[in-house]
A and B are shown apart, each in its own frame.
Chain A
């Protein structure tokens, strides 16, 4: 069974540029999560989807971050414009149903210059 797939694995951009991350969850997992992980810290939830509905986006900085999961499978997380402080690892996770064990992808390491 394939795991959670994320792309790109690495991204380097200049500040004020837009950037997008893509996630394909484990087949059959209807719950999808985007996490932010800063260096030396544990992941922190940005947004959670149940199928195509965002059911918890309270931690998402909505002035510059947006996410979508149009068909309830793949998801895209976007930052526009990026700031220096956005440099971090962006992790995608999925689970069979809300609150079950969450399985993580390899993450996208973003560097904003």
Chain B
């Protein structure tokens, strides 16, 4: 089945640094979603991408839909302590499909040192 691979698995950075993480797949995706999950809470949608090459920002967060449609990137600029959490990428389980089933990556854990 389809899988999403996220890297790095974890990051430990200094407050104020920029962060970059990515998500790759062996198959094409028509949608990429980025979520953040705080401990003890459900995932919160950060950014949704629907078009290859699309670059979308949400405050200090910027995400891009890769041209090949097999990858996506999430960047966080000027990190702050509240950026700590697990970041998941997700996409539909079939290319171009509309089944409503999201496949999630295994997550990137971000820790920020004040």
Contacts and interface: CB of A to CB of B under 8 A. Distances in A.
Contacts of A101: 33, 45, 48
Interface string A64-80: 00000000000000000
Chain B interface size, under 10 / 10 to 19 / 20 to 34 / 35 or more: 20 to 34
A49 B42 CA distance: 19
Chain A interface size, under 10 / 10 to 19 / 20 to 34 / 35 or more: 20 to 34
A48 B44 contact: no
Contact of A99 (B35, B40, B99, B106): B99
A41 B102 CA distance: 14
A31 B40 CA distance: 24
Contacts of B35: 104
B88 A99 contact: no
A102 B45 contact: yes
Contacts of A106: 40-42
B105 interface: yes
A102 B98 CA distance: 13
Interface of B: 4, 31, 33, 35, 40-45, 48, 88, 90, 92, 98-102, 104-107
